[in-house]
Amino acid sequence: MTSYKPPFFLFNAHLETIYPALLRRVPLQPYHRERIATPDHDFLDLDWLRQGSSQLVIISHGLEGNSHRGYIKGMTKMCIANGYDVLAWNFRGCSGEMNHQLRFYHSGATDDLDCVVRHAIGKGYQHITLIGFSLGGNLTLKYLGEQKPLSVIQKAVAFSVPLNLYTSCRKISLSSNRLYSERFLKSLKKKIITKAASRKELDITNIQNITSLIDFDNRYTAPLHGFGSAIDYYTQCSSLQFLPAITVSTLIINAQNDPFLSEDCYPVKLLEGHPYVRFENPLYGGHVGFAQFHKNGLYWSEERAMHFIND
């Protein structure tokens, strides 16, 4: 289960990344949405699919994603087919409605994930698995390693994780990755402009002159969330430093050809002999890719996650 080979027409990392992001469609029954309050008087929108299971999978999406992205719905479909209830939560400002507070979301906002987990426990779940993709993967791993995890969390899986946020941000900012960085920047700027309509203290002067994710994080992400700079934000929130402390059975999968990830995101030696964390780095997969066909619409990543969860 640790090997993956892409379909013949997805013959490079960019195609492996872009095809699923733009063209994948996953038929899925409608979610039931629940809005919960956060301790700071904001809200989070949670999308549920339940079938009376005592076991729950909580799924965290990536940068500028949401619960309706193909990779979230694909994993949800797999979990439902294997008897689990699913909670796919939306980060602040990602559910289709802008959140109330000046802050929004970031790679290390584990307070919101903790709020979601505790809400699920309040529903009666005694067995919870966490799955995260990209930014959501970093968030999940940081959450597991920064403090003693709640006993109900039994397993975790993280895909395409920028374990070192700074070097990965530099990687995605290369000219060869301009398509991705510009798309993310466009979406992030739009959210800041939208929020500024109701929060006048948010300065959007010359926002269109921001041309890199690091510059965006310096101007907005870092100060809005209490960090001194983008570098300070990356340093404090990179999950790489939290991996040694994880005490939950965890699987991390980063494809070797992921165009977003730096060399630091392949900590083979660091995790060698780790009693709880397994790291796999298949040759192919791109970033949140792992497409395959003739498997009932399910991707390799979903099969691999379920095999690990059920093992």
Q: Which pLDDT tens digit goes with each residue over 31-49?
A: 999 999 999 999 999 999 9
The answer to whether residue 29 scores a pLDDT higher than 90 is: yes
**Interval 225-233 mean pLDDT:** 98
Question: What integer pLDDT is reported at residue 149 of this predicted model?
Answer: 87
Q: For tokens 């374990």, what's the residue? A: 163
Q: How far apart are CA 262 and CA 283, in angstroms?
A: 15
**Interval 139-154 mean pLDDT:** 95
Res. 217 pLDDT band, cuts 50 70 90: very high
Res. 2 pLDDT band, cuts 50 70 90: low
DSSP-assigned letters across all residues of 230-252? HHHHHHHH-GGGGGGG--SEEEE
Residue 10 near residue 287, CB atoms below 8 Å? no
Question: What integer pLDDT is reported at residue 276 of this predicted model?
Answer: 98
**pTM, 2 dp:** 0.97
The CATH number assigned to the domain with range 13-174+240-310 reads 3.40.50.1820
3-state SS class at 130: strand
Structure tokens at 188: 């992030």
What digits encode the pLDDT tens for the residues 251-285? 999 999 999 999 999 999 999 999 999 999 999 99
What digits encode the pLDDT tens for the residues 82-121? 999 999 999 999 999 999 999 999 999 999 999 999 999 9
Q: How many other CB atoms are there within 10 angstroms of residue 138's CB atom?
A: 32
Residue spans of the domains in the chain: they are 13-174+240-310
Among residues 60, 69, 81, which one has the least CA distance to residue 128? 60
Residues 6+ apart with CB under 8 A from 54: 124, 125, 126, 127
Question: What integer pLDDT is reported at residue 54 of this predicted model?
Answer: 96
Describe the strand order of the beta sheet including 249-253 as a list of residue ranges.
Answer: 32-37, 43-49, 85-90, 55-60, 127-133, 153-159, 249-253, 277-280
Q: pLDDT above 70 covers what percent of the chain?
A: 99
Q: How far apart are CA 228 and CA 243, in angstroms?
A: 24
Average pLDDT, the chain: 97
The answer to whether residue 1 scores a pLDDT higher than 80 is: no
